[in-house]
A and B are shown apart, each in its own frame.
Chain A
Amino acid sequence: MELKGLTISSLRKLIASREISAVEVCREALDRIEQLSELNAFITTTAESALADAERIDRIAEKGEPLPKLAGAILAIKDNMVIRGVRTTAGSRILFNYKPPYTATVVERLQAAGAIVVGKTNLDEFAMGSSTENSAYGPVKNPWDMTRVPGGSSGGSAVAVAAGMAIGALGSDTGGSIRQPASLCGVVGLKPTYGRVSRYGLIAFGSSLDQIGPLANSVQDAAAILNVIAGRDPGDSTSSDIEVDDYSSAIEGDVRGLRVGVPREYYGEGLDPEVKATIEAAIKKFEELGAKIVDVSLPHTEYAVPVYYLIATAEASSNLARYDGVRYGFRAEGEAGNLKEMYSRTRDQGFGAEVKRRIMLGTYALSAGYYDAYYGKAQKVRSLIERDFRNAFTSCDVIATPTAPTPAFKLGEKTDNPLEMYLSDIYTITANLAGVPGISLPCGLSSKGLPIGIQLIGRQFEEATLLRAAHNLEQALGFDSTPSAISSV
């Protein structure tokens, strides 16, 4: 049973009517993961517990009892979300053998809804990266062209969905890490409003920026997953108690009269001309559907990358201070003269280069004498960026931009130049800084056959409007999401 041809809802119906068993679907997914191991999308598979969960679903179906909402949905979880007793590495050597004593709220909610977790996906170490080349467990390959990156940091999750190893996945997004890999792999990826989804059990990178969200083959499926994971959690004090809308019903409305803002700053220098043309064609589709296209401006866009690389790294330097070889994970070998030496050796050996670079940058930005000039300044410019969005949203309801400046680049192409890699986050970073939701959906292929994604950004807590806009556009575009490079598998 090919997962690519199904929705979460149609899969559930087939299991309910006993046309297929959840165990069969699960076995096939596990086989496919094995067959496509060259893509290196998974760090750990959880076959035993997945099959046990599948059996439980089948027993409910056998009795003719109603199935939970995500029954039988084969899901992959990014390896920076903890599951009790299941190795969780955050893509790092420093957590190579870590088995968490607790489970992330989002995973608990998904499992309670009948979803089947088949494994933990590969990622850039501690979610720091835009290509999944920063993993201590090897890079992930793009199923559309295996010489290219899948994007990052949720590369493994994007590939799991794109290549039909799972029907959906969870990723995390701090500066674009769900949306950008979704764009490069031709799938849908949503970063919710900051505070919409609990971060309890997400290994923290930038606490004022991080959000967990779904990757899926359709907006409909992304909405279904969001409905299960969203909502107040006492375990995360930043999770909002604003009511969760019924996203699955909300997507069914039309977009007549919807105002779609096009910010001129996102269509200038640095944007690949093919990407630009493809996005503009997609926006034309919105017009055909009755939406109104409006010019808007987000004037502080050019400052987003420096702001992000001060705030995110400052927060990371604090969040990663806990990895010290004392309570869990890797500890450097050999007799350390004292505790401080043990910390320093453990961290230098356990962390990869990108993580160390960011910790250093963040430490510098927060250090005495530099705090105001760097971190303090960045916080003020962040206010200006948030203000830009609030102003823009007085004249439009969603904002349409490219997700990434180019389609998937080659493995190794940007690894020598960290700054160049950072600049490729330009279109996604702003939504994290402003705390607004953003979704990427595929809208075409480049002349090399690589997916191009369009990003829609919405007001805080207006995922219902955002998903409705995305769903309507998706239906109108009719993108075929089957990756060409692995079509023989």
Chain B
Amino acid sequence: MPISKVDVAKIAELARLELTTEETESFTGQLSSILGHIDKLNELDTTDVPPMSHSSTAGFEAEYARRDDVTRPSLGQRLATESAPESEAGYFKVPRVIGGH
């Protein structure tokens, strides 16, 4: 199924990607081509097939995948904010959250 430039713009917004005009152009073509190939899946009748989200032996439901809800030491504020492009007084500093342009 081909995808339109409007769709691409909507997805880019959801994905927080400010695409250039060239990117919107080239991605529209490439994504359409890829989605065209993906449509192949519609050849299969999967009515009674259960979805698989992960390998069946992986531990999600297993007891050992859990631990008791006990507080343990973690990174700490200093280390956690150390790598930030902008930080102040142990907080991450960012542009205003609400409002703006």
Given contact pairs A237-B60, A328-B84, enumerate 9 new A-B contacts (beta carbons under 8 Å).
A237-B66, A303-B44, A327-B84, A342-B95, A347-B16, A348-B17, A357-B30, A383-B51, A422-B34
Using A360-B12, A386-B56 as known contacts, say yes or no to A338 and B97 having CB atoms under 8 A apart.
Answer: yes
A305 interface residue per 8 A CB criterion: yes
A380 near B51: Cβ-Cβ < 8 Å: yes
B82 interface residue per 8 A CB criterion: yes
A337 interface residue per 8 A CB criterion: yes
Could you say which of A121-129, A181-189, A212-220, A361-369 contacts chain B?
A: A361-369
A364 near B31: Cβ-Cβ < 8 Å: yes
What is the count of residue pairs linking A and B with beta-carbon distances less than 8 angstroms? 197
Shortest CB distance B26–A (Å): 8
9 closest A-B pairs by CB: A435-B55, A338-B100, A337-B101, A337-B100, A379-B51, A344-B18, A331-B85, A380-B46, A328-B83
Q: Which residue of A lies closest to B42 (CB)?
A: A377
A230 interface residue per 8 A CB criterion: no
A382 interface residue per 8 A CB criterion: yes
Residues 337-376 of chain A, each 1 if its beta carbon lies under 8 Å from chain B, else 0: 1111111110110010100110111011001000000101
List 5 A-B residue pairs with CB atoms under 8 Å apart, sorted by A's residue number: A194-B54, A307-B41, A326-B85, A331-B86, A344-B17
Q: Which residue of B lies closest to A422 (CB)?
A: B34
B101 near A338: Cβ-Cβ < 8 Å: yes
B92 near A327: Cβ-Cβ < 8 Å: yes
Residues of B near any A CB (own CB < 8 A)? 3, 7-8, 11-20, 23, 27, 30-31, 33-35, 37-44, 46, 49-60, 62, 64-67, 75, 79-86, 92, 94-101
A238 near B19: Cβ-Cβ < 8 Å: no
Shortest CB distance A414–B (Å): 13
Which of A101, A336, A379, A383 interacts with B79 by CB under 8 Å?
A: A101
Residues from chain B with a CB closer than 8 A to the CB of A482 are: none
Which of B14, B58, B81, B95 interacts with A363 by CB under 8 Å?
A: B14
Could you say which of A239-247, A258-266, A403-411 contacts chain B?
A: A239-247
Which of A327, A340, A381 interacts with B44 by CB under 8 Å?
A: A381
A367 near B57: Cβ-Cβ < 8 Å: no
How distant is the Cα of A330 from the Cα of B40 in the complex, in angstroms?
38
Q: Which residue of A lies closest to B51 (CB)?
A: A379
A460 near B57: Cβ-Cβ < 8 Å: yes
Shortest CB distance B94–A (Å): 5
Which of A193, A232, A337, A378 interacts with B41 by CB under 8 Å?
A: A378
Shortest CB distance B68–A (Å): 11
Using A99-B83, A303-B41, A364-B31 as known contacts, say yes or no to A380 and B50 having CB atoms under 8 A apart.
Answer: yes
Residues from chain B with a CB closer than 8 A to the CB of A336 are: 95, 100
Shortest CB distance A312–B (Å): 12
Which of B8, B37, B100 interacts with A419 by CB under 8 Å?
A: B37
B46 near A241: Cβ-Cβ < 8 Å: no
Interface of chain A residues 280 through 316 with chain B (CB within 8 A): 300, 302-303, 305-307, 309-310
B16 near A324: Cβ-Cβ < 8 Å: yes
Which of A317, A335, A419 interacts with B15 by CB under 8 Å?
A: A317
A44 interface residue per 8 A CB criterion: no
How distant is the Cα of A97 from the Cα of B83 in the complex, in angstroms?
9
A195 near B57: Cβ-Cβ < 8 Å: yes
Shortest CB distance A242–B (Å): 7
**What's the interface size class on A, roughly?**
35 or more
A3 interface residue per 8 A CB criterion: no
How distant is the Cα of A358 from the Cα of B79 in the complex, in angstroms?
31
Shortest CB distance B40–A (Å): 5
A376 near B51: Cβ-Cβ < 8 Å: yes
How distant is the Cα of A451 from the Cα of B64 in the complex, in angstroms?
43
B95 near A341: Cβ-Cβ < 8 Å: yes
B85 near A330: Cβ-Cβ < 8 Å: yes
Residues 370-402 of chain A, each 1 if its beta carbon lies under 8 Å from chain B, else 0: 000010111111111010000000000000000
How distant is the Cα of A379 from the Cα of B51 in the complex, in angstroms?
5
A361 near B54: Cβ-Cβ < 8 Å: no
Q: Which residue of B lies closest to A300 (CB)?
A: B44
Residues from chain A with a CB closer than 8 A to the CB of B82 are: 101
How distant is the Cα of A194 from the Cα of B37 in the complex, in angstroms?
27
A360 near B11: Cβ-Cβ < 8 Å: yes
Which of A300, A386, A460 interacts with B52 by CB under 8 Å?
A: A386
Shortest CB distance B28–A (Å): 10
Q: Which residue of A lies closest to B63 (CB)?
A: A241
B38 near A374: Cβ-Cβ < 8 Å: yes
How distant is the Cα of A303 from the Cα of B67 in the complex, in angstroms?
38
Shortest CB distance B101–A (Å): 3
A270 interface residue per 8 A CB criterion: no
Interface of chain A residues 440 through 478 with chain B (CB within 8 A): 460-461
B56 near A435: Cβ-Cβ < 8 Å: yes
* Residue of A324, A336, A360, A461 contacting most chain B CB atoms (<10 Å): A360
Shortest CB distance A308–B (Å): 10
Residues from chain B with a CB closer than 8 A to the CB of A208 are: 53-55, 58
B83 near A309: Cβ-Cβ < 8 Å: no
